[in-house]
Each structure stands twice: as C-alpha cells, then as structure tokens.
C-alpha cells in the first residue's frame, strides 16, 4: 500500500482534506479529477491506497470554513506497480520543440494506448500518431506531460515526465529512476551539439563548474535525488527531477532469504546423507574435505 500526504502551508485545526484521482475527461472541463471513495472532507491529511495495480495520478486539496473555502489542487503524484515499461527515445526528460520523440510500450501485450497527463491537469487517452506499440510525437510545448502505457487487458507501465523547451540549453538527464549504486552521467546540450564549459546545479546550488561537459556520478545514492539544471554562457536550462530507486531493502533481503534457504537445505541434505549412508557419507565427506585442503595448500 501507498500513503499519500497532503500539506497546507500554515497547518492548523479545522482543515478538511479531499482526495482525487485523474481520470480521462471527455467533456473537456478544465481538469479531470474524480473524487476518491472515502476521499471527501476527511479530517486526516493522509490517504492510503491499498494494492493498486494500475497507474494513476493523485491530487489533494483542503477546505475550511462555512461556506467552505477550498485551496487549489496540489501537484499530482503518480503511483504505479508496473509489469510493463515505457521507454523514451531519445532517452532524456527535456526535449526541444519540433523534436521527434518516440514513446514505446513494452510488455506482454501488443495493443497499447499511451496516456498523457498534461501540465494543466488534463488526462488524454490516446496518442495521435501510434505505430504498433510506439507513440511518435513531433514536440510542441503542450507535450510537456506525464506519460504512461495501458493495455486493453489492464496492464500498466511506469509513468515518465517529458518536458519541451523552445530555448537553449536543455539538460540531458535520465527519464527513469536511477538505481542506487549505479553510475549516471548528465550533460547539457543545444539544438546542435553537446556543450562543454557547463555549470551544473543540484537543487539550485552549483555542484560542478569546470571545462567538462558532463556531470558524472559514479555510485548514485538516495541523497543525489533532486532537481538538476545546467548553465551555458549565462543561459540556464530548466530544471528536471532525477529520482533514485533504492535497491537495498527488496533485492538485498531476497538475497539474504535465498542464502538462508540454501544453507538450511544444504545442512539438511548433508545430515540426511550421513544418516542414511552413514559409512559411505563419512568417507565421501572425508575425501571432499581432504580435496578442499589440498586445493587450499
């Protein structure tokens, strides 16, 4: 399950919270949010989503007083647990206007639709130019959005941010979360080329100012997560969020548990072997140990 939290700038008693999910809107209203079950006027500032299997964007807002005054909707947060994947080519968050960008859905199905959740809170259900499982975009500024794939039979992909810019330079940063411990390289480019003599910023602070055009992080950690941007000859790119995926908790414990199971099974087998073929087992163990000793010396 996933817990969403909602915050108001000056917390105080008396706020109620409202929880919404982005849904495709056919009537072309200004936003396409649907109130969640039990999401209306709760006193709690958190909402728990249990066992979600689809990809969706969530927003909250708060209300207070009589008649009730409502805040704006929050920024959306996307939640997914995705067997399928969405890849972006070229593989970066930021793109120039009039670029060709393709979004490809990969999974067990052939029929995909690409969902687009735009900056103004509209959810679009279909890609205009879909060839097979690839959506081709000839970028304009209105293509700045969060995208994901959905198959007809209810398979979903991860969600990705794509932003479109009509000025130099743009930051070249990964679309997908970077796995903790792996390396990542960020760069800065104009419409024509990759730039050198670039200044890189992390959360608005300079982290590299030298003649290299690349910002290399050799082993990414959770503390590298945040907003990055670059600057070239006085001009700044927009900033983009780089997220870092932790591996320790899940993969490591899987490794530990499999190790433990193997260990127990091994000891059990040796025990059984000794018990059943007592004599033979002993000699075999003896010879194996002797052999190992030899290898060592």
Ligand X SMILES: *[C@@H]1O[C@H](CO)[C@@H](O)[C@H](O)[C@H]1NC(C)=O
| Site residues, ligand X (CB under 6 A) | 78, 146, 159-161, 185, 199, 206, 209, 212, 214, 216, 241
Name the phi and psi angles at 269, rounded to 5: -65, -45
Nearer to ligand X, 41 or 236 (CB): 236
Q: What is the C-alpha separation between 86 and 117, in angstroms, rounded?
A: 15
Query: Which DSSP category does 42 fall into?
Result: B
Helices (H), 117-218: none
Name the phi and psi angles at 135, rounded to 5: -100, 125
What is the nearest approach in angstroms of ligand X to the Cβ of residue 88?
11
Nearer to ligand X, 65 or 181 (CB): 181
Name the phi and psi angles at 189, rounded to 5: -140, 155
What is the nearest approach in angstroms of ligand X to the Cβ of residue 231?
7
Nearer to ligand X, 102 or 161 (CB): 161
Q: What is the C-alpha separation between 46 and 142, in angstroms, rounded?
A: 32
If 0-12 CB within 10 Å is exposed, 13-18 middle and 19+ buried, where does residue 216 land? exposed
What is the nearest approach in angstroms of ligand X to the Cβ of residue 253?
25
What is the nearest approach in angstroms of ligand X to the Cβ of residue 214?
5
Task: Tell me the CA distances in angstroms from 152 to 112, 182, 216, one per residue in order.
Answer: 7, 35, 40
What is the nearest approach in angstroms of ligand X to the Cβ of residue 31?
18
Nearer to ligand X, 14 or 231 (CB): 231
Both structure tokens of 150: 């959905």
Give yes or no for a contact between 180 and 221, defined as CB atoms under 8 angstroms apart. yes
Give yes or no for a contact between 4 and 77, defined as CB atoms under 8 angstroms apart. yes
Nearer to ligand X, 15 or 117 (CB): 117
What is the nearest approach in angstroms of ligand X to the Cβ of residue 271?
50
CA atoms within 13 A on the CB side of 181: 5
Nearer to ligand X, 219 or 261 (CB): 219
> Cis omega (within 30 of 0) on the bond before 95?
no
Nearer to ligand X, 56 or 146 (CB): 146
What is the nearest approach in angstroms of ligand X to the Cβ of residue 262?
36
């Amino acid at each position: 399950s996933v817990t969403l939290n909602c915050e108001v700038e000056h917390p105080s008693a008396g706020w109620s919270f409202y929880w919404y999910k982005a849904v495709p809107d056919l009537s072309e209203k200004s936003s396409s949010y649907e109130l969640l079950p039990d999401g209306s006027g709760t006193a709690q500032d958190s909402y728990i989503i249990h066992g979600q299997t689809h990809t969706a964007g969530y927003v909250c807002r708060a209300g207070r007083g009589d008649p009730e005054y409502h805040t704006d909707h929050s920024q959306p947060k996307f939640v997914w647990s995705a067997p399928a994947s969405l890849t972006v080519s070229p593989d970066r968050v930021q793109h120039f206007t009039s670029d060709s960008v393709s979004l490809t859905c990969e999974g067990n199905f052939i029929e995909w639709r690409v969902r687009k959740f735009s900056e103004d809170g509209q959810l679009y259900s279909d890609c205009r130019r879909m060839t097979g499982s690839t959506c081709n975009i000839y970028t304009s500024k209105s293509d700045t959005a969060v995208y994901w794939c959905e198959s007809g039979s209810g398979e979903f992909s991860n969600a990705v941010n794509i932003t479109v810019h009509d000025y130099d330079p743009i930051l070249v940063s990964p679309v997908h979360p970077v796995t903790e411990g792996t390396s990542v390289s960020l760069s800065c480019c104009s419409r024509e080329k990759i730039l050198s003599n670039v200044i890189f910023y992390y959360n608005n602070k300079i982290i590299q100012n030298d003649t290299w055009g690349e910002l290399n992080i050799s082993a990414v950690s959770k503390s590298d997560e945040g907003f990055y941007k670059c600057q070239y000859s006085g001009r700044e790119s927009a900033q983009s969020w780089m997220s870092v995926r932790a591996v320790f908790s899940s993969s490591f414990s899987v490794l530990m548990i499999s190790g433990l199971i193997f260990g127990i099974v091994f000891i059990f087998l040796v025990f059984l072997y000794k018990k059943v073929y007592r004599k033979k087992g002993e000699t075999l163990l003896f010879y194996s140990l002797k052999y190992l000793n030899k290898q060592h010396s």
